[in-house]
Amino acid sequence: MNISIRRAVLNDIEAIAEIYNDAISNSTATFDLEEKTLEDRKQWFNEHDDTYPIIVAEYEGNVVGYGSLSSFRPKRAYERTVEHSIYIHKDFRGKGIGSLLMTELIKLASELKYHVMVAVITEGNEDSIRLHKKFNFEYAGSLKEVGHKFNHWQSIVFYQLFL
């Protein structure tokens, strides 16, 4: 499978929204509860820039996954720390796309001189935990029952990578 990774462009928003909305409706990978509109995703896209890039995985001209770097917390003392996200189209999971996106996100975060990358993962998402361990992210703690989705309390775990 020939997957290419590139910076996201505005024309990718529809595919990104479709992938994210599927995660909202069918998984606990995000704690959003309502699907996002294209306008919302455009605003999210516009809030990202060269400091907080968005990348996409493309297969045969179609976006099949994306990743992003985002501010970890708004206070200035956190400015060298970034949180990242990776989402893969449901039909393309388990094909190594997450690893390709993670490789590029780590490279970008290093080039941008971030000190640490933080992952916030819903407890029980073993695929995501395995991916992060593969890239030497270390377990950094958990928060129990901080989200309520699908009629269950959800806990989160933190993983971090020093760059």
60 in any annotated domain: yes
What are 73-90's pLDDT values in tens digits? 999 999 999 999 999 999
First CA to last CA across the chain, in angstroms?
29
Distance between CA 124 and CA 81 in Å, rounded?
A: 25
What are 14-59's pLDDT values in tens digits? 999 999 999 999 999 999 999 999 999 999 999 999 999 999 999 9
The pLDDT confidence band at residue 154, using thresholds 50, 70 and 90, is very high
CATH of the domain at 20: 3.40.630.30
- How many folded domains does the chain comprise? 1
pLDDT at 3 over 80: yes
163 in any annotated domain: no
76 in any annotated domain: yes
87 in any annotated domain: yes
Sign for the CA dihedral angle at 147, 31, 84, 133 comes to positive
Contact 132, 98 (CB under 8 A): no
39 in any annotated domain: yes
Could you give the strand order of the β-sheet that contains 81-88, starting from the edge strand earlier in sequence? 3-7, 54-59, 62-71, 81-88, 116-122, 152-162, 138-149
Whole-structure pTM value:
0.95
**4 pairs with which residues across the strands?**
58
141 in any annotated domain: no
